[in-house]
A and B are shown apart, each in its own frame.
Chain A
Amino acid sequence: MLAFIGRRILVAIPTIVLISIFVFSLQQLLPGDPILAMAGEERDPETIAFLREKYGFNDPLPVQYVKWVTGVVQGDLGISLRSNQPVSELLLQKLPVTIQLAIMAMIFAIAIGVPMGIVSAVKKGTVLDYAANLIALSGLSIPNFWLGIMLILLVSVKWGLLPASGYVPPGEDLWLSIKTMLMPAFVLGTALAATLMRHTRSAMLGVLKSDYVRTARAKGLKERRVILKHAFRNALVPIVTLMALLFGELIAGAVLTEQIFTIPGFGKLVVDAVFNRDYAVVQGIVLCTAVGFIIMNLVADAAYFALNPRLRKQ
């Protein structure tokens, strides 16, 4: 298993290098001059010249890239053009926020998606199955931003139950922090729940047809035990892979959700950075996300070993 993980890490390194080059070049293709964007309404030529020099925009592109990568290797992701804060500091500030959102959204997604998937597979073709599918389809089709705004208007403005937007660190007030995050986590979780439900359903349907399930039933085991112990456990393997892949969707969804609910996380940071042409921040975030994605896949691979005894023997 260690050798397997080790191989995976070795493959990951060139991937990250390629991503870094890709991100760096992509930025240069973006129209709009970052210095002009930060020079302010007056656009004073003297200021522009000074800023261009200060942030190294006068260097040839390969030189800029090498300078950036050298910094990254040493743990220095550069300085945000807009706020003058080190990018690594910004990332450390924003990452826990998005992780909290992602975990809470995942909890919603699993709590809704997995049971619905199991029920709809076991009760295939019944009203329950159709209802679950309808809910899943709605979850997938309703846009995040619409659902978000509707929830704010209903839950916060009309009923006054939850804070309309914003963020409270858990260290400051845990209960308020969770309350503030409930709506955005739910919004982000619904779309994922739908995907999870569909996949759980099809994985369960596949497993339910297999011989060992028939054997288990023939042995006279209780249906509840057959489904949860024999069928569901085996259906989990593809579901776990999916959850790792959903991590990407979660980050992408967080971009929108954080924007609507004004949550100062990763997603909001990247959107603002793109609009402000804050290159250093965009590069830092994309690189970190890519690394995060690779790690999540590694974790998923490791999870297979835990869940599937056959892999362990190989």
Chain B
Amino acid sequence: MLRKLTLTAVLMGASALGAQAQDLRIALQSDADVLDPDQSRTFVGRIVYTALCDKLVDITPELELIGQLATDWSWNDDQTQLTMQLREGVTFHDGTPFNAEAVAYNIERSQTLEESRRKSEVASITGTEVLGEYEIRLDLEQPDATLLAQLADRAGMMISPTAAREAGADFGSNPVCSGPFAFDNRVAQDRIVLKKYADYWNADEINFETVTYLPIPDNTVRLANLQSGDVDIVDRVSATDLEQAKADPKVQIESAVSLGYQGITINVGNGDKAKNPLGEDSKIRRALSLAIDREALNQVVFNGAFAAGNQPFPPNSPWFDPDHPIPERDVEAAKALLAEAGYPDGITIEIQAPNSTEPQQVMQVVQAMAAEAGITIEIVSKEFATMLQDQTAGDYTASQVGWSGRVDPDGNIHQFLTTGGGINDSGYSNAQVDEYLNAARVTNDTAERKELYNKARDILMEDSPLVYLYHPTWIWGLAEGVEGFTPYADGMIRLEGVSLSE
């Protein structure tokens, strides 16, 4: 039907005028959770917010911070006060004006709402001072290098104080923000519909009347929807479908190496289960790392579409430490390390992995590679929620697990590898690493931070509590008429400038 209409349109010469579609349909891998930036926790939710809720700060495709609702900002000398100039003439979808008072309210809500999951992200802010209608100062206890990146994500999303006061914790059922699109309706597991906000400050860049997000979990079905013309954009095309998608003239492919990583987290100090050769001897962990051909792993499982990795940051990141390039596979060196550790005849280790296709394939390839170096891997498949629980409780020896990634480097490393870190399931603890990683948090000097991360990296390479394997690549499929799409490493779908000619 749609195709017939398109054909008719072409025949009538209407396409010469570049007729604009009214509705943009985007298929996502899963359904978003509650649509309240303060309570939200899913990656998919963040994709929806990109159209719904503007943030104080945004990022460029090169991961530099730029203003969105804040137009400019400056630090005081000891970097404990951040003064922000705000965009004038912005209103929320309910007409409430956006100003410094609204920013102060939003930060307070992120810090104090009982259900808030942003508390740790804005914990460094001790107070706010409204300096004028469009000027606000954030006071910090100590410098916080991660703060601006946090304000470029959910913690920096501004919601209407009027609507939030009225709805309380129930805000998510009818969210009111200031982004290019306003909330229209939602049917759980079926669709989220947003409609264009006419008074958006950057409305000229928005080319759709409505945008509809459809959760379609099955990778094949999601791609089929794009190929049949039922949707215009799909996220997370699986690497194994890439060839098929590229061969279809009706499909365009865009991609960006993500900020996240996948690896093997090893229990080195999280309870009694850490007391085993793998957990106690870094030589065995390094032997495991040396036994893996990361490039081959990427080729075999992901058709080479992902990026091999050995650090929390992908090789194209400015934070990647070039002193530790992706290691070549070295089976002899791995065997030598094993012998040095007292296992010249090989060793058997147990690694748990989620019971879904990709992690299983990854682990089977790793298993085969490690076997050649004398490391027998027993893969224990677990459903993800179960695996996570065992991992947190320390009831595991090693886990194939990853992280979706954050714009600021701190988000990819600090909470995993500092003593007592929030997600330090490995139980790793090294005073020197703590010192470097903590210091890197409290300086805004990029060169100095990089130096600190590199120093920590030297120790972490030696200790190897986490064996990094690869960095997933975000792959988007676009219908042939979609123009102006920019891939971002954070995996978001930004709709400014995107258009669809039928």
Task: Verify if B101 is at the interface (C-beta below 8 Å from A).
Answer: no
Instruction: Given A33-B385, A156-B230, decide whether A262 and B422 contact each other with a Cβ distance below 8 A.
Output: no
B216 at the interface (CB under 8 A from A): yes
CB of A272 within 8 A of CB of B31, answer: yes
Q: Could you say which residues of chain B place their CB within 8 Å of the CB of A268?
A: 189
B173-201 near A? 1/0 per residue, CB < 8 Å: 10000000000000111100000000000
B400 within 8 A of A: no
CA distance in complex: A234, B393 (Å): 62
In Å, the complex CA distance between A186 and B172 comes to 37
Looking at the complex, which one of A33, A84, A163, A260 makes contact with B228 (CB distance below 8 Å)?
A163
Residue of B33, B172, B216, B221 with highest tally of chain A CB at under 10 A: B221
Inter-subunit contact B228/A264 (CB<8 Å): no
Within 8 A of B (CB), among A21-44: 31-34, 36-44
| B224 → chain A closest CB, angstroms | 5
B42 partner residues in chain A, CB cutoff 8 A: 40
Give chain B interface residues in 184-240, CB to chain A under 8 Å: 187-190, 214-218, 220-221, 224-225, 227-230
Least Cβ distance of B109 to chain A in Å? 15
Shortest A39–chain B CB gap in Å is 7
Report the Cα distance A130→B280, complex, angstroms. 67
Report the minimal beta-carbon distance from B406 to chain A, rounded to whole angstroms: 10
Contact residues in B for A82 (Cβ distance below 8 Å): 33-34
Given A39-B41, A84-B34, A149-B220: A32 and B117 interface contact (C-beta under 8 Å): no
Q: Which residues of B contact A260 (CB under 8 A)?
A: 218, 221
Closest to A269 in B: B189
Q: Which residues of A contact B389 (CB under 8 A)?
A: 31-33, 36
Whole-angstrom distance between the alpha carbons of A275 and B170 in the complex? Answer: 24
Inter-chain contact B225/A164, CB cutoff 8 Å: yes
The verdict on A44 contacting B120 (CB below 8 Å), with A36-B392, A39-B41 known, is: yes
Using Cβ atoms and an 8 Å threshold, which residues of chain B touch A40?
Answer: 41-42, 117
Using A90-B188, A160-B228, A165-B230 as known contacts, say yes or no to A152 and B34 having CB atoms under 8 A apart.
no
Judging by beta carbons under 8 Å apart, are B385 and A166 in contact?
Answer: no
A262 touches B172 (CB 8 A): no
Q: Does B423 contact A (CB under 8 A)?
A: yes
| Shortest distance between the CB of B388 and any CB in chain A (Å) | 6
CB B7 to nearest CB in A, in angstroms, measures 11
Q: Which of A36, A45, A157 contacts B224 (CB 8 A)?
A: A157
Q: Is the CB of A83 within 8 A of B33?
A: yes
Contact call A157/B216, Cβ cutoff below 8 A = no
**How far apart are the CA atoms of A44 and B214 in the complex, in Å?**
29
Name the interface residues of A144-191: CB closer than 8 Å to any CB of B.
Answer: 149, 152-153, 156-157, 160, 163-167
Interface band, chain B = 35 or more
Residues in chain A near residue B218, CB distance under 8 A: 149, 259-260, 262
Decide: B114 and A50 in contact? CB cutoff 8 A. Answer: yes
A93 interface residue per 8 A CB criterion:
yes
Minimum distance in angstroms from B270 CB to a CB of chain A = 13
B227 engages A261 (CB within 8 Å): no
User: Does A47 sit within 8 A of B, measured CB to CB?
Assistant: yes
- Cβ-based interface call for A85 (8 A): yes
Chain B contacts for A211, CB-based, 8 A: none
The docked-state distance in angstroms from the alpha carbon of A32 to that of B115 is 22
- Of the residues B119, B215, B225, B390, contact of A44 by C-beta under 8 Å: B119
B237 to A: closest C-beta gap in Å: 14
The answer to whether A43 touches B423 (Cβ under 8 A) is yes
Interface-central residue, A44, A90, A93, A268, by most chain B CB under 10 Å? A44
Residues of A within 8 A of B188 (CB): 83, 85, 90, 93, 264, 269
Q: From residue B44, how far is it (CB to closest CB) to chain A in Å?
A: 12
Rounded to whole angstroms, the CA-CA distance of A261 and B392 in the bound complex is: 35
Pick from B33, B386, B415: contact of A32, CB under 8 Å: B386
* Residues 1-59 (chain A) with a chain B CB within 8 angstroms: 31-34, 36-47, 50, 54
- Given that A47-B117, A149-B221 are known contacts, is A93 also in contact with B41, CB under 8 Å in the complex? no
Q: Which residue in B31, B41, B172, B227 is a CB contact (below 8 Å) of A157?
A: B227
Contacts of A167 in B (CB 8 A): 190
Query: Which residues of chain B come closer than 8 Å to A275, judged between CB atoms?
Result: 383-385
Q: In the assembled complex, which residues on chain A have CB atoms less than 8 Å from the CB atom of B221?
A: 149, 152, 164-165, 260-262
Contact with A along B379-408 (1 / 0, CB 8 A): 000111110111010000000000110000
Q: Verify B386–A83 contact, CB threshold 8 A.
A: no
A156 and B224: CB pair below 8 A? yes
A199 contacts chain B at the CB level, 8 A cutoff: no
Q: Are A32 and B383 in contact (CB under 8 A)?
A: yes
Q: Is the pair A42, B422 in contact by a Cβ cutoff of 8 Å?
A: yes
Q: Are B388 and A36 in contact (CB under 8 A)?
A: yes
**Contact (Cβ within 8 A) B217 A259:** yes
Chain B residues, Cβ within 8 Å of A46: 119-120
Task: Write out the residue numbers on chain B whose beta carbons fall within 8 Å of the beta carbon of A165.
Answer: 216, 221, 224-225, 230
Tell me if A201 counts as interface (CB < 8 A to partner B): no
Give A283 to B227 CA distance when docked, in angstroms.
Answer: 38
The digit string for B415-458, where 1 denotes a CB below 8 A from any CB of A, is 10000001100000000000000000000000000000000000
Mask of B1-43 contacts with A, CB within 8 angstroms, 1/0: 0010000000000000000000000000001011000000110
Contact B189 A166 (CB under 8 A): no
Contact A31 B230 (CB under 8 A): no
User: A198 within 8 Å of B by Cβ?
Assistant: no
Residues of B with C-beta under 8 A to A152 = 220-221, 224, 228
Give Cα distance in the complex from A277 to B217, angstroms.
17
B55-87: which residues lie under 8 A (CB-CB) from chain A? none
Contacts of A166 in B (CB 8 A): 190, 214, 216, 225, 230
Closest-CB distance, B331 to chain A (whole angstroms) = 35
Minimum C-beta distance from B25 to chain A (A): 10
Whether B189 contacts A272 by the Cβ 8 Å rule is: yes
**Which residues of B are found within 8 Å of A149, using beta-carbon distances?**
218, 220-221, 224
CA distance A39 to B40 in the complex (A): 9
B170 x A84 contact (CB < 8 A) = yes
Instruction: Give the docked Cα–Cα distance between A32 and B189 (Å).
Output: 22
Report A-chain residues with C-beta under 8 Å of the C-beta of B385: 31-34, 36-37, 275-277
* Complex CA–CA separation, A88 to B481 (angstroms): 42
**Residues in A neighbouring B41, C-beta threshold 8 A:** 38-42
Q: What are 11 contact pairs spanning A and B, CB under 8 A? A: A32-B383, A50-B115, A84-B173, A149-B221, A152-B228, A156-B225, A163-B228, A165-B225, A166-B225, A259-B217, A261-B221
Residues of A within 8 A of B (CB): 31-34, 36-47, 50, 54, 82-85, 90, 93, 149, 152-153, 156-157, 160, 163-167, 259-262, 264, 268-269, 272, 275-277
8 further A-B contacts with Cβ under 8 Å, apart from A41-B41, A156-B228, A164-B224, are A32-B385, A40-B41, A42-B415, A83-B188, A149-B218, A259-B217, A264-B187, A264-B190
**8 interchain residue pairs of minimum CB distance:** A40-B41, A32-B385, A264-B190, A156-B228, A31-B386, A32-B386, A264-B189, A164-B225
